[in-house]
Every structure is written in C-alpha cells, then in structure tokens.
C-alpha cells in the first residue's frame, strides 16, 4: 500500500479516535453556561403567597442561591428538603431564592405547604427569567456572589455536600 495513503488513513483514524474519547463521558445534556463570571441577569418577580415583588438587585451584598424548579419536576421533590435544611442552617449568611416556571401558584403553594419553605419562591410566568439564565431543565441552581456575579451553576438535584461545596465558592 502506498505510504502516503497509509499515513493519511492513520491520521484521520487517530483524529476520530481522539474526538471520540474527548466526547465520551460528557453528559450530552450538559450545557456549559456562558454566564459564569458575568453579572446575574436581574429580575423582579412576584413571590408566592405574599404576592410581593422580589428584586434580585436588592439582595446584592450577600451571596444568593437561585434555584429553578417546578412542581411537575420529580428530582425537585428530592432536592427540596436539602435546600430548605441548608437555607435554615445558613440563615442570613446566604439568601436562597426559588424560581418556579411553567407552573401554577396553587400547585406551588400546595407543594410548599406540604414540604415546608424557608426562603422566598417567585413565579417566572412565561419562563423568560429561566431563558435569560440559560436554563435547560429543572432543577438548575445558580450561585451568585456578594457582588452579583454568577460564580457557578449546578444542573440536577443536589445533595447536602454538593450544595455546601458550591455555597462555599460564593462565600469566599
């Protein structure tokens, strides 16, 4: 066989194998957020229960954990107690905010009544806030530092250790 053709064949095969190994092991549903390191998109949304507007900018000065969730999301049931427990434990040091989209206030209120609540939950009526944050699915959680900059994002339900390790990043 011609040496040039053989060399080209080996080169192409090596490139394909390299791409395969680079992509393999990556979650195809994972989206690298371009928002990391940038200011968190600001919003003023209505809080469930009180109906009072909650403005993200007013929380500037303390770390904020923004959790996107919905009552139709099964992993959110698993994550909710972790969030509530840590919000109570961290108290005023960190502000937790739940953002619910594509849901109804009745269902959210029932969910919170049944499972407890330790922080404000706001309604993202047409999912516009979720879009601005690049949310692909729920639950998704953003960690915002004191200056209002997004430091990290977590996709999927968190356990206590994961949540605390991410909170530590915004407390620095």
Partner 1 sequence: MIVFVFLALLQLKVPDAQQLVGAPAGKKLAGAELDQKTMELSQILRCPVCQGLSISDSPSIMAANMRDQVRDLLVQGYSQEQVLKYFEQSYGQFVLLKPKFQGVNTFVWLLPLGALLIGLAITLVKMNKLDAAPAAPAPEAPADDPYVARVRELVEK
Site residues for partner 1 per CB under 8 A:
4-5, 8, 12, 28, 31-35, 41-46, 51-53, 55, 101-102, 124, 126-137
At its nearest, how many Å lie between partner 1 and the CB of residue 168? Answer: 26
Q: For residues 101 and 154, which CB has a smaller minimum distance to partner 1 in the complex?
A: 101
Q: For residues 22 and 114, which CB has a smaller minimum distance to partner 1 in the complex?
A: 22
**Cβ contact 119:87 at 8 Å:** yes
**Cβ contact 167:90 at 8 Å:** yes
Between CA 75 and CA 156 the distance in angstroms is 7
Nearest to 31 by CA among 132, 128, 155: 155
At its nearest, how many Å lie between partner 1 and the CB of residue 14? Answer: 14
At its nearest, how many Å lie between partner 1 and the CB of residue 124? Answer: 7
Q: For residues 28 and 91, which CB has a smaller minimum distance to partner 1 in the complex?
A: 28
At its nearest, how many Å lie between partner 1 and the CB of residue 12? Answer: 8
**Cβ contact 170:63 at 8 Å:** yes
Q: For residues 42 and 113, which CB has a smaller minimum distance to partner 1 in the complex?
A: 42
Could you report how far apart the first and last alpha carbons of the chain are, in Å?
Answer: 62
Nearest to 115 by CA among 66, 72, 82, 158: 82
């Amino acid at each position: 066989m011609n040496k040039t053709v053989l060399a080209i064949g080996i080169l192409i095969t090596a490139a394909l194998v390299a791409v395969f190994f680079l992509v393999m092991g990556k979650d195809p549903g994972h989206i690298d957020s371009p928002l990391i390191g940038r200011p968190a998109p600001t919003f003023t949304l209505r809080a469930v229960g009180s109906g009072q507007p909650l403005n993200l900018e007013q929380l500037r000065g303390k770390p904020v954990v923004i959790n996107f969730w919905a009552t139709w999301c099964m992993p959110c049931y698993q994550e909710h107690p972790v969030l509530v427990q840590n919000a109570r434990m961290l108290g005023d040091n960190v502000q937790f905010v739940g953002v619910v989209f594509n849901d109804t206030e009745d269902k959210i209120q029932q969910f919170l009544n049944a499972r407890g609540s330790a922080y404000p939950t706001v309604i993202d009526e047409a999912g516009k806030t979720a879009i601005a944050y690049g949310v692909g699915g729920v639950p998704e959680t953003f960690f915002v530092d004191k200056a209002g900059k997004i430091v990290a994002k977590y996709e999927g339900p968190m356990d206590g250790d994961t949540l605390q390790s991410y909170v530590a990043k915004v407390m620095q």
